[in-house]
Structure 1
């Protein structure tokens, strides 16, 4: 089981809301209204770990190890929402999210293949690590800069935990797992070129609610994420390259081969499809 090991690792890195956030360093003159609004949107977005956890537990009901890990992931992600809300409660209470605004991002996600969902969230953690680093650079108020740096480190650790479960999946499922990871990895590593970097919070997840079936579509400002990335924190090509590089480096290690571009990943994906097709007659002949 991976859960006991991951629990110990993440427990050692755990930070305290009261003791590790330098609340006394707040400087009101360095917080703009624009910046405060983005903190509210991020707080609500982080709250969506609630329906994501419900999805993970439902779709991984046969995997008690991973489901147990969700107890840690869910706790830490909800603490991200809480620390951002606490910041607003202390310093901009007029912008603190309401319970209704938080509850609006709790909705059911359609069932999805667990391996693809695992890869999707691994990529999401890699991307969010860089988004929050960029946000920390953009902000000028010292307490919120510290908070975003703290959250970024958490997201990086979460990505590492997901990677361990991906390694376990390859041991168990072989090329089936590799194909699922290559498929989603190519999609996520290529998304920036389309002008819409993909993240679990801006993907459609409930066909019956379309088009209001993304987390972002249910925020008070559905256009916030794109504006935040392009015109506020300015998550530009060098930042996007860090995301793509992180995905490809980890997949190179996972697949034990050099994959240095999305195109190389796509070629590998096609190789996996061909190998699985070639294996089908063999499997059928043994039935």
Structure 2
């Protein structure tokens, strides 16, 4: 069981909102209205860990280990929302999200193959780590710069935890599940490592998840400013090609270690995926 080990490791490095955030270093002259508004949007986006957790628990009913780990992931992700809202409460209270704004991002996600979802969220955590590091560089106010660094580190640890469950699927769940996992991980890996080729930001909160609500079925579409994410990435923090390469490289590196391969490019990974498809053309991903 991975849950107990992951709980202990994350407990040992968990930060305290009161003592580990340098609240006294706040410099109002270095916080712009534009920057404060983006903090609000991220606070609401982080609240979407709630429907994501409900999805994970629903789709992994046969996996108590992973479901128990959701207690850690959910706690830490909601804490990200809380610390961003605490920042607004202290320093920009007029931008504090309302309960209605928070509740709007809680809606049901359609069932999806758990192995693909696992890989999708691994990639999402890798991407968030880099987004928040970039955001920390963009901000000029010391306290929010520190907050983004802290939550970026959490996202990296979450990616590592998901990677442990991915490795378990490959090595400890039987040959059939292992084969299905390779197919699922490479399929999503090719997509998520190719973000520089797509017009939309490839993150779970920006993907369509409920066909009955389409096209307003992404977390981002439920925000007060549905188009803010692209503006934040392209025009504000400027998450450019150099940053995208870092994300892609990290995904490919971890998949190389996971699959005992060497994927220097997305094309390398896609060739491996096609080899898997030829070896098992009838194999379809199912539950982890």
* TM-score, normalization by structure 1: 0.96
Q: How does 1:128-143 map to 2 (within 5 A)?
A: 128-143=128-143
Rounded Cα–Cα distance in structure 2 between residues aligned with 1:193 and 1:133: 22
Aligned residues: 280
Mapped pair 1:94 → 2:94? yes
CA drift at 1:192: 2.0
Secondary structure in structure 2 of the residue aligned to 1:174: helix
Q: 2:160 maps to what in 1?
A: 160
Alpha-carbon shift at residue 174 of structure 1 (Å): 1.8
Unaligned runs of 5+ in 2: none
Q: How does 1:143-158 map to 2 (within 5 A)?
A: 143-158=143-158
- From the superposition, tell whether residues 179 and 27 of structure 1 become closer, same or farther in structure 2 (CA, over 3 Å): same
Alignment-derived partner of residue 192 in structure 2: 188
Aligned 8 A contact 1:192 1:198 in 2? no
* 1:272 counterpart = 2:282: no
The partner residue of 1:244 within 248, 251, 263 is 248
Q: Deviations over 1:126-164 (max 9, x none)?
A: 000000000000000000000000000000000000000
Counterpart contact for 1:45–1:201, Cα < 8 Å = yes
| CA distances 1:5-60 after superposition (whole Å, capped 9, x unpaired) | 00001001100010100101000000000000000000000000000000000000
Q: What is the Cα deviation at residue 279 of structure 1?
A: 8.4
Q: 1:72-111 counterparts in 2 under 5 A? A: 72-111=72-111
Residue equivalent to 1:263? 267
CA separation of 1:279/1:137 partners in 2, compared to 1, >3 Å: closer, same or farther? closer
Question: Residue deviations 1:67-108, cap 9 Å, x none?
Answer: 000000000000000000000000000000000000000000
1:277: how far off?
2.7
- Tell me the residue number matched to 1:29: 29
TM-score (norm 2): 0.96
Change (3 A) 1:231 1:268: same
| Matched-pair contact (CA < 8 Å) for 1:188–1:197 | no
1:214 counterpart SS class: coil
User: Cα distance, 1:195 vs. partner?
Assistant: 2.7
